Amino acid sequence: MSIAILFGSSSYEHEISIVSAITMQKVFKKTPLVNIFVSSSREFYLIESKDMKSSTFSSGDYKKSQKLEIKKGGFFATKMLGAKKIEFKTLINLIHGRDGEDGKIASLMEFFSIPYISPRLEACAMSFNKLYTKFYAKSVGVKSLDYQLLNNESMREVLLPFPLIVKPCRLGSSIGVSIVKDKSELDYALDVAFEFDSDVLLEPFIANIKEYNLAGCYTDHWELSIIEEPYKEEFLDFDKKYLDFSRDTKVLAADISKDMADLIVESFQNVYGTLFHGSIIRCDFFEIDGEIYLNEINPIPGSMANYLFEDFEDMVLRLAKSVQLEKKIESQYTYINSIQSAKGKA
């Protein structure tokens, strides 16, 4: 069974997606990979394994690779004697940020009937926007921190006490995120965040808060990773997260009680539910006074959070066998035919 890796695209996290895709070359040890790069101009290229290195993309050499077209059933390379289909069993959507996590790729895969591992459209809508994530968490009984939403046309009147953390609403990898310790730092932090998004989320910043990460998916049973307590200083900034995207070695499980682990697992399963079927996600949680709060959903985590799993490659193959596309709807034209019949027309 071969697996396609789709990466790149038009996103602030374009380079991070490339790093994740390069990491996958080391993670998949027995499964052939088909590497499909999406340029910033949203053109598709088939990248040979030997060219899966950062310089291929930073230099623009990827443009020498075979260009692909997306059609019903898959990706095709144009040859002299016609189009040749690029064969693979299932595609992993590894595009971080816009295009990959906002639902565009999910919609494209469904429209062209291409089997894929990724959150579906509704799951993307709920997890890509941090505000909607809070609404969704509440609906499934999972707590999240207090918040305030500002947009780039609203007054900058802050109702939450300082210190605060300022986040663009629709962006990951800690891009545009700032800690604001007092009012004098607020305007600059908002200016930075508004460079990336028209909506910004404010949350209380709690120093030395306990944070735990758990990843997983559902095949015909729950397949969950270890629970990690990530190292951080004030928060996981872009540079530290960038290193995470290239991780391919296992990490140690958090030293926590069984009761705490059970709470984290229960919260993860409530979030994943049926909405995220067909995807591997990572949830980041806070622990405050013995209670679990959802910090964020990573619908397409860096390097697919492979470093949290004992048998990541085999798990992906099991998930690939279970993914389903939308139910096919046949058009019978019964309604139109009945109208024509009533009018005496054939």
Adjacent-strand bridge partners of 293: 143, 286
Residue of 202, 209, 207 whose CA lies nearest to 185? 202
Using only C-alpha atoms, the chain has a radius of gyration, in whole angstroms, of 22
pLDDT (average), residues 218-225: 96
Q: Amino acid identity, residue 322?
A: S
Residues 6+ apart with CB under 8 A from 22: 52, 53, 54, 246
What confidence score (pLDDT) does residue 234 get? 56
Tokens of 293: 């709060």
What confidence score (pLDDT) does residue 330 get? 87
Q: What is the pLDDT of residues 29-60, one digit of tens each?
A: 999 999 999 999 999 999 999 999 999 999 99
Q: What is the pLDDT of residues 251-290, one digit of tens each?
A: 889 999 999 999 999 999 999 999 999 999 999 999 999 9
What confidence score (pLDDT) does residue 100 get? 96
Cα gap 123→112, rounded to integer Å: 19
What confidence score (pLDDT) does residue 340 get? 78
Q: Amino acid identity, residue 130?
A: K
Tokens of 199: 């909506």
Confidence of residue 239 (pLDDT cuts 50, 70, 90): low
- Residue 238, Cβ neighbours under 10 Å: how many? 14
Cα gap 53→62, rounded to integer Å: 10
- Give the total residue count for the chain: 346
pLDDT (average), residues 90-117: 97
What confidence score (pLDDT) does residue 233 get? 60
Is the pLDDT score of 236 beyond 80? no
Confidence of residue 323 (pLDDT cuts 50, 70, 90): very high
126-135, 172-181, 257-266, range with the lowest pLDDT: 172-181
Confidence of residue 232 (pLDDT cuts 50, 70, 90): low
The angle at the Cα of 206, spanning 156 to 143, to the nearest 5 degrees, equals 90
Is the pLDDT score of 128 beyond 60? yes
What confidence score (pLDDT) does residue 302 get? 92
Tokens of 336: 């139109």
Q: What is the pLDDT of residues 62-87, one digit of tens each?
A: 999 999 999 999 999 988 778 899 99
- Residue 39, Cβ neighbours under 10 Å: how many? 17
Is the pLDDT score of 249 beyond 90? no
Task: Say what angle helices 130-139 and 121-128 make with each other, to 10 degrees.
Answer: 110
Residue 107, H or E segment: helix 104-111
- Residue 338, Cβ neighbours under 10 Å: how many? 10
pLDDT (average), residues 220-229: 96
Burial of residue 43, with CB atoms counted within 10 A of its CB: 0-12 exposed, 13-18 middle, 19 or more buried:
middle
Going along the chain from its start, the domains and CATH numbers come out as 3-117 (3.40.50.20), 124-144+207-322 (3.30.470.20), 148-204 (3.30.1490.20)
DSSP 139-179: HTT-EE---EEEETTS-----SPSSEEEEETT--TTTT-EE
Q: What is the mean pLDDT of the chain?
A: 92
Cα gap 49→51, rounded to integer Å: 5
Residues 6+ apart with CB under 8 A from 241: 173, 174, 302
Q: What is the pLDDT of residues 18-31, one digit of tens each?
A: 999 999 999 999 99
Q: What is the pLDDT of residues 136-163, one digit of tens each?
A: 999 999 999 999 999 888 788 899 999 9
pLDDT top residue among 236 and 57: 57
Residues 6+ apart with CB under 8 A from 91: 3, 4, 5, 6, 36, 109, 114, 115, 116, 117
What confidence score (pLDDT) does residue 283 get? 97
Confidence of residue 175 (pLDDT cuts 50, 70, 90): confident
Q: What is the pLDDT of residues 187-201, one digit of tens each?
A: 999 999 999 889 999
Residue of 251, 246, 225 whose CA lies nearest to 19? 246
What confidence score (pLDDT) does residue 165 get? 94
Confidence of residue 345 (pLDDT cuts 50, 70, 90): low
CA distances in angstroms from 214 to 64, 155, 285, 312, listed in the order given: 39, 37, 8, 14
What confidence score (pLDDT) does residue 299 get? 96
pLDDT top residue among 236 and 92: 92
Chain CA centroid to CA 83, Å = 31
